[in-house]
Chain A
Amino acid sequence: MSRFARILKQNKVFLDGSMGTMLQQRGLKLGELPELLNLTRPELVEEVHRGYLSAGAEILYTNTFGLNARKLRGSGHTVEELLEAAVAVARCAAGGSNALIALDVGPIGELLYPAGSLRFDEAYELFKELAVGGERAGVDLVVAETLTDLGEARAALLAIKENTALPAIVTMSFDESGRSFQGVLPESMAQVLTGLGADAIGVNCSLGPKQLVPIVKTIAQNTALPLVVKANAGLPRPDGSGYDLSAGEFAAAMREFAALGVKFYGGCCGTEPSFISAMIKALNGEIPAERELHPPLMLASPSRALCLCGHAHVIGERINPSGRKPMQQALKKGDLGYVLSLGIEQQRAGAEILDVNVGLPGLDEPATMKRLVEELQGVSDLPLQIDSSDPAAIEAGLRAFHGIAIINSVSGKTESLKEILPLAKKYGACVLGLALDENGIPNDAEGRVAIAKRILSAALEVGIPQEKVFIDCLTLTVSAQPEQAKETLKALSIVRHELGLQTVLGVSNISFGLPAREIVNQNFLAMALQAGLTLPILNPGVRPMVDAVFAYNLLADGDARAERYIARVSGREGEAPAPAAAREIGPEGLMAAVEAGLKEECARQAKGLLEALPPLEIVEIALIPALDQVGQKYERGKLFLPQLIAAASAAEGAFAQIRLALAKGGEARLSKGKILLATVKGDIHDIGKNIVKVVLENYGFEVFDLGRDVEPALVVEIAMRENIALVGLSALMTTTLPSMERTIRALKASGHPCKTMVGGAVLTADYAREIGADFYAKDAKQSADIARRLFAGAEERA
């Protein structure tokens, strides 16, 4: 048995207090790296450890909180060197005692993408270096603490679990709002880290013991793991002179956690050995309460927890390229903007879970899944359902998603069970089992239930808890197999009421091939909900379908005081009809709508015009002239930037219609030339680039938008693959200009013949020339002028 396993058998374990506070008392200055003291003044660090040891601490945290390769850049020291020194000091201090040594790992200090620029994989590598080093140096466990981003906590935990045999404790910090600075909920944190296999979890820092009680209570309800509390010495005093609790007050407040069944007790900022000894005395004789160890079933993102306990919830199905041309085109171009907006739309329409499928022939599905899941989390807080037939894509999605996901799907086939279930286990995901196997879909309910049972027992065998197994009893087309609808409903009812599992069903397939499909769909949905469907998969854009789910929740007594139902339908009576004063359909009407910035009117005009004119002609005779007019007024100072953007944004409304018509007619895409846009590596401000994108698209150019914080190598790769003639780069800050220069150099070095245009707040024409750009664009208007000149010239030469 490991030393950690042994100490877990105790009903209480005492941790140490603050290292930073103690080192500051010994002369450590702000801005200095405390970890350097492991080398330069090991006796000071040892003194702190010994202080806590004699106060009664049973686990000592090494002086490595701020240690990582990023922070050491330019310091002349390596992680290995400081880590080994730190562990050696701690082990020396603990000599002769039974105290365990925990490698202390703090946050990297940068926000994770998309909030910041640090990538999950980079964070993982930094944590891996620490964990592996810690194991080599002989620590007993690793503690990742003071984390505020659940993604970062996942990176740390995965790095420890995948690269060492060490136990892992993860504690996060929350503020008075009950969330972390990054918006993480305690229930999400508890469910996710439990699912991912932490050995103990809890809270440290940011608040005093009193303020932490409600947070710890929530965590306790959402995990069966041992709990850790390492609280500050109260709240910081306003004058910056320290914290507001004395050792005695701290100790008394820490006692409260025994009633919550906490196992590990310690101190964070502001605590000293006297706090720890007082705490141990106060807890002497307390036996932590027995905990209820049946956490509710939750789907979660870091900032949203969705309890599956009563209501039916809609899974939005629209992020799926099969049969959806615009999404196929967007995925092929690597332009995720369109796909992301589908996520936002579905959330607004009432979806509570988003299905994510990027299966498209010729596409690198795992890589696309990873990228999409990363980006989607930046704009939507809904839990995801990772949908793929490729286990590698499923794993990529699960790894990138920082919540509790559903895997869509596993089936009763032996091969499928073998490949998919271990992924659900490893990442703590729920798994959706399809009631089919090697012999296809059974014709009767009994056959499907038998497969459901088989999937359930296989899942239990690999350690997936029963409540995380969901079943899809499969909808068959009623026009082809009229007797099947009732078999589906019967199977659904048994799976829900006898096996007690969550049920998932794609609804609209029922009406395939029938006229007035919505009538059949709505009724089938109502019947399925009544039979026990908890998670319908549907298109939330079809309002009556989502309405039916809300009405069902109301009627089935799942919606107390009709709050959710009323919130959904309120304000509908007042919905405005189309404006009466709209102009007659015609090129002039469209031009006026663009100039006035009326997006809906632009769409209406374009729709009308498309009945009489070919799509491209509308662009030539109305849209481009209107944009030119607006552009000229802007240049003459008659209009300002917001009006220019309003016009561009309105024209987009017309373009959406035109693109739809082109796709339907099977005509060539609208492309007057291909332009790549990117905000350079290190820079994450991209509103300027996005304005340029819309304006260029308005003029008929095909834009490949690589987003922000883009590696030079990716710009080169896409420019070559798509044979791009013009690359536009944006940077906001002087500090990211070198990144722009590197990108231009990389493009030149590749030999790919293309021009570069650059823009951004701090750029000037001179500087653009200096870094080798071909064009400098002061604003979006100029970038369109440059592109038009360039591509017109190309046509003439051709």
Chain B
Amino acid sequence: MAVFIDEAEALRYMGYRAAPGARALAVLRAQIDEISPRLRSRAIYRVFETERTEGGIALKGGGVLLKGQDIAALLEGCGRAALLAVTLGPEADAILRRAQLEDLFTALAADACLSAAVEWAADELEGEIRRELAPCPLTMRYSPGYGDLPLETQRELLDALDAYRRIGLSLNGGLLMTPQKSVSAVIGIGGGAKRDEPSGKCAGCAARDCAFRAMSKGGDGA
């Protein structure tokens, strides 16, 4: 699927907290123009029934155990949960590698564009899930590594989605998602879902030391 790069979001990822200069803006816009047509996103999701167990919340038939208090609180009252993953693919990483060799500022702009793009793609997927499951209330999306949800959950999550086969998304030995510009997450579904609002509010996020927290709409660590 084609992706969209929001200029304001990209500026935020670059670290601007005030209006950028004309030259910086020109560099960013050139990157948006160059990168956008070359990007495609691939996305996948799957809905599971949840089951509270001693070790955490199990996704039935998915081989996934969600551990930690934060995810338990989020999924309180949710009889089901969706796993989702989206990636911009290896081309995005190659764009970034090339940009870093050419000019560092351009690379910073490219990196920000790609982060904004994958977030946009994740928002789109989340929107699709919301439409698909309407009128069920849904929680925000929550990713491994947020709060006390262990990063190790990543492997089970991607396995349950068959993400390598379906969208070419895998983990390296250090549990980093490859391709890098990818998002994976859990969304709680059901009558008891506490926060029926699209992702993007810092309030519900346990990543309290996140650099974007004060000003951001949220973020999946992309």
CB < 8 Å neighbour of A690 from B61, B107, B162:
B107
Q: Does A794 contact B (CB under 8 A)?
A: no
Q: Which residues of A contact B167 (CB under 8 A)?
A: 181
Minimum CB–CB distance from A666 to chain B (whole Å) comes to 28
B188 contacts chain A at the CB level, 8 A cutoff: no
Q: A182-B90, A682-B172 are in contact. Are A652 and B101 (CB under 8 A)?
A: no
CB of B140 within 8 A of chain A?
no
Would you call A642 and B174 a contact (CB within 8 A)?
Answer: no
- Cβ–Cβ contact A111 & B179, under 8 A: yes
By secondary structure, the B interface counts as mixed
Bound-state CA distance A146–B168 (Å) is 11
With beta carbons under 8 angstroms apart, the residue of B42, B93, B104, B175 that contacts A649 is: B104
Q: Is the CB of B101 within 8 A of A118?
A: no
Q: Is B195 an interface residue (CB 8 A)?
A: no
Chain A's closest residue to B155 (CB) is A31
- Contact across chains for A110 and B94 when beta carbons are under 8 A apart: no
- Chain A residues in 8 Å Cβ range of B162: 30
Question: Does the CB pair B178–A379 fall under 8 Å?
Answer: no
B24 CB–A CB distance under 8 Å? yes
Question: B164 contacts which chain A residues (CB < 8 A)?
Answer: 107, 109
What is the predominant secondary structure among interface residues of chain A facing chain B? Answer: loop
A residues in contact with B90, CB < 8 Å: 111, 115, 181-183
A29 pairs with B168, CB closer than 8 A:
no
Q: Is A514 an interface residue (CB 8 A)?
A: no
- A732 proximal to B (CB < 8 A): yes
Which residues, 682 to 701 on A, are CB-close (under 8 Å) to B?
682-687, 690-691, 694
1/0 contact string of B164-180 vs chain A (CB within 8 Å): 11011011111110111
Q: Which residues of A contact B16 (CB under 8 A)?
A: 640, 642
CA distance A128 to B162 in the complex (A): 25
Whether the Cβ atoms of A682 and B176 lie closer than 8 Å is yes
CB distance from B208 to the nearest CB of A (A): 13
Interface centre among A107, A646, A682 (most CB of B within 10 A): A646
Mark interface residues in B103-117 (1 if CB within 8 Å of A CB, else 0): 111111001000000
Q: A378-B97, A735-B151 are in contact. Are A181 and B23 (CB under 8 A)?
A: no
Q: Is B36 an interface residue (CB 8 A)?
A: no
The answer to whether A331 has its CB under 8 Å from any CB of chain B is no
- Cβ–Cβ < 8 Å partners of B105 in chain A: 597, 599, 642, 645-646, 649-650
- The answer to whether B37 has its CB under 8 Å from any CB of chain A is no
| CB of B68 closer than 8 Å to a CB of A | no
Pick the most buried of A110, A180, A379, A380: most chain B CB atoms within 10 A of its CB.
A379
Of all chain B residues, the one with the shortest Cβ separation from A117 is: B172
Nearest B-chain residue to A240, judged by Cβ: B46
Q: Which residues in chain B, 139-156, are within 8 Å of chain A measured between CB atoms? A: 145, 151, 156
Shortest beta-carbon distance from A256 to chain B in Å: 24
Kindly state whether residue B15 has any CB partner on chain A within 8 Å.
yes
Indicate if A598 sits at the interface (CB-CB under 8 A): yes
Compute how far the CA of A107 lies from the CA of B20 in the bound complex, rounded to whole angstroms.
45
Q: Is B178 in contact with A29, judged by CB distance below 8 angstroms?
A: no
Contact A344 B91 (CB under 8 A): no
1/0 per position for A642-676, CB-CB distance to B under 8 A?
11011011101000000000000000000000000
Identify A378's interface contact among B24, B63, B94, CB under 8 A.
Answer: B94
Q: Which residue of A lies closest to B18 (CB)?
A: A640
Bound-complex Cα distance A643 to B98 (A): 21
B220 to nearest A CB, angstroms? Answer: 14
Q: A110 touching B104 by the CB < 8 A rule?
A: no
Assembled-state Cα–Cα distance A682/B145 (Å): 17
CB atoms of B101 and A340 under 8 A apart: yes
Is A32 interfacial (CB 8 A cutoff)? yes
Contact yes or no, B96 A733, CB < 8 A: no
Question: Contacts A115-B90, A684-B180 known; A30 to B160 CB distance under 8 Å?
Answer: yes
Q: What would 4 more interface pairs be, CB under 8 Å, given A116-B178, A642-B16?
A: A111-B179, A641-B14, A684-B178, A690-B107
A-B contact pairs, 8 of them (CB 8 A): A110-B170, A118-B172, A181-B89, A183-B89, A597-B21, A642-B14, A643-B24, A736-B176
Chain B positions within 8 Å of A, measured between CB atoms, are 14-18, 20-21, 23-24, 40, 42, 46-47, 61-64, 89-91, 93-94, 96-98, 100-108, 111, 145, 151, 156, 159-160, 162, 164-165, 167-168, 170-176, 178-180
Residues of A within 8 A of B (CB): 29-32, 107, 109-111, 114-118, 146, 148, 177, 180-183, 205-206, 240, 337, 340-341, 344, 378-380, 596-599, 640-643, 645-646, 648-650, 652, 681-687, 690-691, 694, 732-736, 739
